[in-house]
Amino acid sequence: MNSRNHLVFLTLIFIYTTFNTIKASEDITFHFSSLSLHNITLLGDSYLRNGVAGLTRETQVPSSSSGTIIFNKPIPFFDHYTNTAASFSTRFSFAISNVNRRSPSFGDGLSFFLSPNNDTLGSPGGYLGLVNSSQLTKNKFIAIEFDTRLDLHFNDMNDNHVGLDIDSLNSIKMVDCLAAVGIDLKSGNLLTAWIDYWNDGKNLKVFLGETSFKPVNPILNIDIDLSGYLQDFMFLGFSASTEGSTETHFVENWSFTSFGIRHVKPRVKNPHNVSDNTVTKNPGIEVPNDVGNHDKSHKKVGLVVGVLGPVFFCAILIVFGYVSVKKLKGGKTEINMQAELLTGPKQFSYKELKTATNGFNASRIIGHGAFGSVYKAFLSSSGATGTTAAVKRSKHSHEGKTEFLAELSIIACLRHKNLVPLQGWCVEKGELLLVYEFMPYGSIDKVLYQESEQWNFLKWSHRYNIAIGLASVLTYLHQECEQQVIHRDIKASNVMLDANFNARLGDFGLARLMDHDKSPVSTLTAGTMGYLAPEYLQYGKATDKTDVFSYGVVVLELCCGRRPIEREPEGNKMINLVDWVWELHSKGAICDAVDKRLNGEFDLDQVKKLLVVGLSCANPDSEKRPSMRRVFQILNNEAEEIKVPKAKPTLSFSNTLPLSLEDIMSSSDEDEDEEDLSRMGPKITVYPVSRVAI
């Protein structure tokens, strides 16, 4: 065998061996000392804070809540060829506590589950976030429940037990934790659970302890064959729920190992034992007279091939590597997105979205912006969650790609009821496309200003609920995600309304991720005039407080039905909404700012509260602005209102270039046609301020 053939042979052996090694290796192991959005998906009311997952809302007032966290990748649990199921072992630490120590109310509990679906999210209450109250048999699962409420509907033994549930919340077997191991699940102490399933022995054991040392005896020991319920691939996760209680549920660390699936190895006919009968004998060949010359010639050719073969092979590898790297750089967006979002939103084909938008027909455009255009789409694919969607088509500029990547990488990891749900994405044929759930009423901006026939639908109760929803999602972004998310473009045209007039925050093209408690970094100022905090305009440092300022402006818009910056009906003088409301506040007539189109149909106390909250958030002094959590608590009557000074505080900055409010607005008039709902004010990059009183 010459050198080239030898190299090819070794390469094939290496590939074959590697392939079979990978194929045969189905054992999965992971260990998370702290949880991360890189590894898990949050559903419902769940959230991350400093590596700890909270599964239900944390509130002083009794509420109903359910949340789920799911490991991003499916785990193999069954092999049909050999009819074998995996054994597995998992360990995790959790705590079930209570926010209200003075008058605690408990229920309902927490569970660890295996499910064939990665979207398991059930109802609050006794359903433990595992099943839907209206479809009790729809979700399939194997779960270990740590139940803290006696629910006779599911034949619970008491309010402090561990049980095994399979496709039903009527436990196959349950054990009283206090009687068995002296543990109160509701103590608030950090507890550690071990769950071991041995498939060969058809046995499941659950251990529970208050230390990191595994107890000798299990709290739950069941002889059961789970192979009939285990599917080829399943998802792992935790769920929890409350109903009229202030109970909280946390998961801190998590380890998992699966093993024992056997595979059928492919048979190779007579790989070594070859009989003479199977060998084809070559017929005799007459040797020519110039055999010596031919032999020398063959030797030379063999030598050349032997030397140049490996060189040629290496050259091919180098060229292939160079082309691959170049393509990798050129198509980095698509490759990275496919890797990161493999288990996340759906990847649509360009053909699907082109068909759904009627070839991106201009008649389907429902919004414009600096990023590009938004099209109404009708999806016919069975994989889509709905028939109508909104497709966001980014411009082909460098900035467009940057905003696209920011939006996709950030929002794909976020889960909150007040976010516009991301259904999918597409990076194909040079196009950057995002697919969102369609919002039937569009944006607040659209309902308040552009479609006068719809304003009467936006009643006061809707407006107040929108303010609460927006405060809730900003609390989530600022304080409950693993990394703090600064939106940087909170404005009325980016707050959508669903069919029930609930607020849905969208457009994360300018959003930035930050580590909690980390100093902000100066960036190019970006956003929309009228919503930008003064310190952000001056120094370009986006923080959670700059988002709070923008929220305050949106709240004032909701109350007053007026734009952040607008010209007087008669004359060219510009009116700043914050200044106008603050002036009324200084006169003791703040409620006069309420939208006259409401015809007096509103709750006076709520109006005053919301207007004061708006002013406190739009305070020029960032240190005096409340956190979004505080705002959320105030609007839910869980915290005292903030006192706002009668006179608006003033701040003074210095720079080299003078710029007045009129200058900014007049310079933007030329670009109005290109801006997203331009009457809201111009989108800007950098505006230095010179001795401008804010």
Binding site, annotated residues: 392
Active site residue 507: no
| 119/46 Cα distance (integer angstroms) | 13
Q: Which of 572, 576, 574 is nearest to 557 (CA)?
A: 576
**489, 498, 547, 676: which one is catalytic?**
489
DSSP assignment of 575-608, as one string? EEHHHHHHHHHHTT-GGGGS-GGGTT-S-HHHHH
Structure tokens at 19: 């392939």
Please give the structure tokens belonging to residue 274. Answer: 């070859």
Taking the CA atoms of 574, 576, 582 and 584 in sequence, report the sign of the dihedral they define: positive
Residue indicated by tokens 């082309």: 323
Q: Which residues contact 373 (CB under 8 A, 6 or more apart)?
A: 365, 367, 392, 393
> How, if at all, do strands 346-347 and 422-428 pair?
parallel
Residue 213 has which token pair?
A: 């040392």
Residues that constitute the known binding site for ATP: 392
Tell me if 242 sits within 8 A of 56, measured CB to CB: yes
Residue whose C-alpha is closest to residue 497's, from 447, 546, 564, 426: 447
Residues 6+ apart with CB under 8 A from 612: 585, 590, 641, 642, 644
Strands (E), 72-179: 75-76, 78-79, 84-85, 87-98, 109-115, 142-147, 161-166, 173-176
**Of residues 496, 500, 499, 474, the one with CA closest to residue 487:** 474
Interior CA angle at 34 toward 33 and 40, to 5°? 120
Give the ranges where 60-132 is alpha helix by DSSP (H): none
Tokens read off for 87: 């054994």
C-beta separation of 340 from 412 below 8 A: yes
d(CA 505, CA 475): 12
What DSSP designation does 419 have?
Answer: B
8 Å CB contact between 515 and 482 = no
Tell me the H-state helices in 331-375: 332-340, 350-356
Distance between CA atoms of 234 and 28, rounded to whole angstroms?
Answer: 12
Which DSSP helix (H) or strand (E) runs through 486?
strand 484-486
Report whether the peptide linkage leading into residue 108 is cis, meaning its omega lies within 30 degrees of zero. yes
Residue 58 in tokens: 């944390």
Selection from 467, 443, 508, 453 nearest residue 677 by Cα: 443
Q: How many C-beta atoms lie closer than 10 Å to residue 211's C-beta?
A: 9
CA 123, chain centre distance (Å): 20
Structure tokens at 450: 């552009």
- Would residue 518 be called left, alpha or beta, if left means φ above 0 and alpha means ψ between -120 and 50 degrees? beta
Question: Would you please indicate which residues are annotated as catalytic (active-site) residues?
Answer: 489
